[in-house]
Each structure stands twice: as structure tokens, then as C-alpha cells.
Structure 1
Amino acid sequence: MRKDKEIGTDRRADMVKHPLFRETKLVWQCNSARLFQRLAMTLAMVLSLAAQAQSELPRLADGAPDTYVVERGDTLWDISALFLNEPWRWPELWSVNPDVRDPNLIYPGDTLYLRWKDGKPGVYLSSSDRNIGTSDVVRLSPKLRSEPLAAAIPALPREAIDPFIARHRFITQFDLEAMPRIISGYRGRLISGMGDRVYAVGAFTGEQRQFDVVRPAREISHPETGETLGTLLSSVGRVVLSKRALADDEANQFDVLASSEELRVGDVLLPVEDRQLVAQFLPKVPTVDLDPGFMLPLDVGAKQIGALDVVATTYGEVDDVDVGTLLSITKVGEPVTDSISGKRYTVPSENAGTMMLFAVYDRASFGLVLSANQPLSVEDRLVKP
């Protein structure tokens, strides 16, 4: 028996030494390595997808409160910034709340509660939702709110946007000589006011009788190319046509209905527009890639810009942006010289704030600075958030 065992051992030793065995062992090792590599790649992919899914959740702001009582003067953006690093994602935060189907229906005095459900954060409106995470069923009872709808808090600070829209216009091509304009006041006066009479030249042949009186506020130009993007016009009054010219060399007569400042010779007359103000601005991230743009001031000589300031931008309809588009404001880092080697290095750009476009034209637009974490300057860069 022992001899047979020794013979079997010798045979196994000879088999291990056989070239075919060594080749089979090598193939098995290679296949095992490939299998292990595939398993590792699969695990990495799963972890990556999990991390991506996690990153797609709205990111809560540091120190986000568990509760917040809405105050008069708050906006949806202000409240969202308390809870989120990206305030424009508030629909995701509130979409899980059956009691806040329309975020605009939030009123001063309401209490908001931050709760988690199924691994996702949510903001709930009533105290009855305190235990929302313990049950998938939310019972709501009918209730009547006696406050008028106008008392609901707005999405954004309208007092910073509406006056600009009401008092300004923007045109791409401004040719004073070709536009209807005031050439004189009553008895040759250079300035006129409400109740006065003015005379203007131009084609006033249609049914339109009332006209806005505007004058150039500033020319908007691209800071790199110098290309004129358009002219911002400010409204200074309104006039009504009282006597139409009967000949080409005769001026038209107008009566001044209103004026926010004196009307001057050279002021332009444009037909009154029925400019409907947007009821609710809904901030959104651009759906297309954007080349870096520039933020431009509205006041000539202005150097500093802050939160809730209205600014012009070099983005327009040609860039596939529209009303509500959100942009990040970045400050380009100044080159730094290494004191040891003398070599110059570029410092990465820093995020300095957020703005939203509320009026978009062909090659230019106007936006409201919603937040600023440091002083902003003229010609700071604009990029996709």
C-alpha cells in the first residue's frame, strides 16, 4: 500500500512538471485575474453610480435649521438658501410635501420643518408632518386660508426687478436721426414737464396716439470685442398726439401727460408697449453649455456690484438663454509670481455669487444678482452653475 502511495505521489509530481499542466495552470490564473478585475470594475461602477445618485440629491446648507418661521419680507429664494447650497433646487426639496404643491402659497407666520424620508430631505409646512418619516401615509384635512393670495411670499424680490422693467427699454439698433424725437418745447423751450406742449418729428401715421418718451441711458458693448450689443433706454415721460403734421416739413404737436423728469430736446418717442410683467420668475440652470460671459454695470463709471443689483450681461437669445436662467459669477484669479523661482502661475477662478436673467434680448440680457459672497466687480465672468 505504501509503495502504491509513493507511486501515486510520483505520478502527481510528474504531472505537475508536465508542460500541459503548467499551461493549464497559467490559463486558470489568467482567467482568475480577469474575473477578479471584472468584479473590481463592477464594484467600482456600482459605488460610482451610488455616489452619483447621492450627489444628485439637493445638498443641504451647513447649519440648515430644523424649523423656520416665515417672516414678512422673505422670498422663496431667501428661505431656500437657508436649507440648500443650491437654492434654485427648491422644487426638489418641496416636491415631496403634499401640503406645498405650489411653493408660492407660503405665507408669513407659516412654520417650515426639515425632515428626511426614504433617504431624501424634505421641507414640510405643518406641525402635523413632524413624524413624516415614520409613515408613508400623510393625512390632510381640508382648511380655508383667510389671507389674500397677494400676501403669499414671492419667489424673488420683485421690488428690485419690476421698477427696472417698467422704466427701461433695450433696442439693438439705435439711430437717433432716424427715430421720432422732440425738436422743441412750447415757444422754443429746451425742457418741458407735465401739462406742457412739445413738438416732434417722425412718422406718426398709425392709430397710435400715446407715446413713451425715452432717452439713451448707456450703450452696452462687449468688453473684449468692443462690439455694440445694444442701447439701454430710460423712460422719462409720456405724451399724447394732439395735432398731426399735415406736411413733411411740419412738426407734430404733443401734450405731456406725465413726466418723471424734465423732457428735453432730442428725447425719443416710442409707441407705448403693453409690457406684461412676469408673474413668477422660476430660476433654472442652463440646459446647454455656455462660453464664459461678462457682467456689465448699468451706471457709467460704476466699479462695484452687490447683491440685488441689476446688471447687464453679454448673453442673449443667440446663446440659448431665456428668462429665469441662472448663472454663477466668478472672479478670475490674478497671476501670482513665485518668489523663489520667479515663475508666474495662474490662480483658479473663485465662485463669487449667483445671478438670474429676467429680461433677455437678441445679444444681451439683464439680470439680478441674487447672492454675493464677496464684493463683485465690473466685467466679472459669468459661467454655467
Structure 2
Amino acid sequence: MGLLAASPTPVWALSAQEPLSLKADAPASYTVREGDTLWSIAARFLDSPWQWQALWQRNPQVASPRQLYPGDVIRLVATDGAPHLALERGRGETVRLSPSVRRAPAREAVPSLPLDRIRVFLESYQIVDPGVLADAPTVVAGQAQRLLSGAGDTLYAHGRLPAAGTTLGIYRPGSDYRAPMSSESEGQVSETRSLGLELHRLGHARVRRNVDGVGELKVLDAVQEIRNGDYLLALDEGGIATQFQPRAPETPIMATILSVPDGVRFIGRHDVVAIDRGRADGLETGHVLQVMRQGERVRDDVRDEWVTLPDTEAGAVMVFRVFEHLSYALVMRASQALAVGDRLVVPSDLREVVASGGAP
């Protein structure tokens, strides 16, 4: 079993349909460092980082690791000409990976992607059915008629509030994401359907008392000023995954970039985007989709007609939070500025496999 030397990009067949392409300068070994992510490590070895698990699976003795830690050494080795990876934990011994190996706090592990870019979307954003706001209590006043409230302040809300001592989240509505619905005749767009309403959590408040439908609450924490019209809701805030494997979807998926919650005009690497597919469509955290820019319309002066150029591959996004009909994804790479309306598809090197029902 020897180390693989750098050479022109080698391609081995994982199956008759799915090629695995190592980078020409893939290292023989790499030591995991602080600041690495699973994506950045995979990108050192592979032209397509979403094939990370496939490269591990070439070694039947070692499962794809769920977590890597600074100091771990990843070695690229070959058996009978087929590449795979071996892992040495920080102390130097080669180990067989299993769910019981190396129990360590999650904060020590290398994250799947840069958490500082997505933390607010993991902790403070929710996508809900717009109907949840119909009967939700709303802030009507601050202490001493203040227009804005913050941590430690008293505020008043009108509506059906839970018992004294209950803690609620304070939310402000954002985008109401909608998708067109086509009528059955001639494909005409007749109406839209809701994909979900975006809520941004501003903080938390505890109910002190209720008097004739008006509640008094104390603001426990706030990341932004609270104002009249903000909503008080008891939404599930736990169970959000931060560790997942970069991989391609196993079913055909075609999505569209709906918006950029940060409000930037030009979308680039490490920007967060909202896309119009979710759990109901088979999306999961860690899924990687390829971004396709729509081809421009140009004039053919010779034939006196307009033609549309082919779509071009423009980057890749990784899904990091999934709701029923909508997801948040982080742009992992971009060869040009991306835009709202760009299509997202299964990566090109796996598209035919997925479409034919083969194993990706």
C-alpha cells in the first residue's frame, strides 16, 4: 500500500457511471488545522468536494468520519490503483471509525462549513406557515411609552398569552416566500402558493402577568431593538444540526435561488441564499447543488433572430438548514456573481446517475 504521487488529474470509476476525480495537486497527507471545514478539506483532495464520502468508501475498513479534529492526519493511499483515505487521530494511531470513537465536545470538531457565516440563520431565523401569526400576541407598548425596548426593559403585549413565568421568543416577520402556480390551461401562471414566512428572532421575554388581555413582560435578551408590532411566539428553537457531510442529493432536484436574506446585490462565496425546495422535496442538510446561470439572449444578425445561449455552471451551494418547502444554503464557490433566479441542480458529474436511479 503506497502513497499516491501528484500527477495529471486521475479518474477512477466508483461505478460504471460515477467517476471520482482527484485534484492534480492532491496532497499525500494533510493535517487538520484550526479554521478548517469539511468542505475546505475535501476541496484539497477532490475536484468535486461533494464526493467526499465516496472517497472514504473506497476503503472498506474505514467508514467516512462524522467528525474530524485539529491534529488528525488524513492520508491519501492506493490499493490496486484505487485511491482511498486513511485516518490517524491526533496521537498518531490509526483507528477504526465508529459512532463510539473519540467522544469529544462538538465545538472541538471541524465544522462542515464556516459557522460564523451561518450562525445567525441557525439560531435566529425560522420559516413558518403565515397562519401562525393570525392569533399571535403583539407588542403594543414599551415601558413609559418607549417606542423601542431592549434587554431588561418592560413591554406590554395584546393577545392570548400563556401563564406567568413562560418565556417567549420575540419575532419580526421578514420575506413571505411564494412560488407561482401554473393553471392547467396553457401553462399560464394564475396564482402563487406560500412556501413559508421568514421570521427573525429579536430576543426573549418572560410573561410577568396578564390583565384583561394585556400582558406585561420582561425582556430577557435582545439582539435588536424591539418595537410595536413585533410578535411573541413559542417556537421550537432546538435540535439544529451543525455537523453534516457534504454530499449530492440521491434524487433529482431542481431548485431556484429565491432571495439573499442579507440583502446583498451580488451573490458570492459565503453568502447565504434562500432556495425554493425543502424537506418535502427530499433536501437534507449537507446536500450540495450546482448553480446554473441562465444563458443570455443574443441577436443573430445573419439570420435576423434572437437566440438563447446555453446555461453555464457558475458555482455550488451547500444546504445547511431545511424547512418543509424552503431551505437556507451557503455559497461554497462561485466562478461569477450569482443572482436571484439562478437554477440549482444535482452536480453535473452525478446528474445522469441520479436521473437513472443509480447509486450516487
The answer to whether TM tops 0.5 is yes
Q: Deviations over 1:152-173 (max 9, x none)?
A: 3223222323321111111121
Q: Take 2:14 and 2:70, find their aligned partners in 1: how far apart are those partners?
A: 37
Report the CA distance shift for 1:282/1:60 in structure 2 as closer, same or farther (over 3 A): same
1:258 counterpart letter in structure 2: D
Residue 208 of structure 1: how far off its partner (Å) = 6.9
Report the CA distance shift for 1:311/1:333 in structure 2 as closer, same or farther (over 3 A): same
Q: Deviations over 1:177-200 (max 9, x none)?
A: 632111111232221122211111
Find the counterpart in structure 2 of residue 264 from structure 1: 227
Find the counterpart in structure 2 of residue 230 from structure 1: 196
Q: Deviations over 1:190-220 (max 9, x none)?
A: 2112221111112124587101111012222
1:112 and 2:74 correspond: yes
Find the counterpart in structure 1 of residue 277 from structure 2: 315
Contact 1:323 1:358 in 2 (8 A): yes
Find the counterpart in structure 1 of residue 159 from structure 2: 202
> What pairs with 1:295-334 in structure 2 (closer than 5 Å)?
295-300=258-263, 302-334=264-296
Aligned with 1:362 (options 298, 313, 324): 324
Q: TM-score, normalised by structure 1?
A: 0.73
Q: Which has the higher helix share?
A: 1
1:153 counterpart letter in structure 2: V
Contact 2:111 2:242 in 1 (8 A): no
Find the counterpart in structure 2 of residue 53 from structure 1: 15
1:215 and 2:172 correspond: yes
Residue 175 of structure 1: how far off its partner (Å) = 6.8
Report the CA distance shift for 1:292/1:244 in structure 2 as closer, same or farther (over 3 A): closer
Which sits farther off after the overlay, 235-244 or 265-274? 265-274
2:220 counterpart letter in structure 1: L
Q: Which runs of 5+ in 2 are unaligned?
A: 1-11, 182-188, 348-360
Report the CA distance shift for 1:364/1:208 in structure 2 as closer, same or farther (over 3 A): farther
Find the counterpart in structure 1 of residue 185 from structure 2: none
Q: Take 1:148 and 1:239, find their aligned partners in 2: how far apart are those partners?
A: 30
Q: Take 1:331 and 1:205, find their aligned partners in 2: how far apart are those partners?
A: 49
Report the CA distance shift for 1:221/1:106 in structure 2 as closer, same or farther (over 3 A): same
Contact 2:152 2:218 in 1 (8 A): yes
Contact 1:174 1:230 in 2 (8 A): no
1:341 and 2:313 correspond: no
Q: Take 2:144 and 2:287, find their aligned partners in 1: how far apart are those partners?
A: 50
Q: Take 2:219 and 2:44, find their aligned partners in 1: how far apart are those partners?
A: 48
Q: Which runs of 5+ in 1 are unaligned?
A: 1-49, 128-138
Find the counterpart in structure 2 of residue 285 from structure 1: 248
3-state SS of 1:53 partner: coil
Q: Take 1:322 and 1:109, find their aligned partners in 2: how far apart are those partners?
A: 29
Contact 1:162 1:277 in 2 (8 A): no
Residue 377 of structure 1: how far off its partner (Å) = 1.4
Q: Take 2:14 and 2:146, find their aligned partners in 1: how far apart are those partners?
A: 69
**Once superposed, what is the RMSD of the aligned Cα atoms?**
3.2
Q: How many residue pairs were aligned?
A: 320
3-state SS of 2:122 partner: helix
Report the CA distance shift for 1:311/1:336 in structure 2 as closer, same or farther (over 3 A): same
Identity %: 33
> What pairs with 1:131-142 in structure 2 (closer than 5 Å)?
none
Contact 2:320 2:329 in 1 (8 A): yes
Q: TM-score, normalised by structure 2?
A: 0.78
Find the counterpart in structure 2 of residue 168 from structure 1: 125
Q: Take 1:79 and 1:372, find their aligned partners in 2: how far apart are those partners?
A: 18
Q: Which has the higher strand share?
A: 2
Find the counterpart in structure 2 of residue 30 from structure 1: none
Q: Take 2:22 and 2:324, find their aligned partners in 1: how far apart are those partners?
A: 37
Higher RCO, 1 vs 2 (CA within 8 Å, ≥6 residues apart): 2
1:154 counterpart letter in structure 2: P
Aligned with 2:113 (options 156, 169, 175): 156
Find the counterpart in structure 1 of residue 358 from structure 2: none
2:147 counterpart letter in structure 1: L
Q: Take 1:326 and 1:343, find their aligned partners in 2: how far apart are those partners?
A: 37
1:103 and 2:69 correspond: no
Aligned with 1:186 (options 138, 143, 160): 143
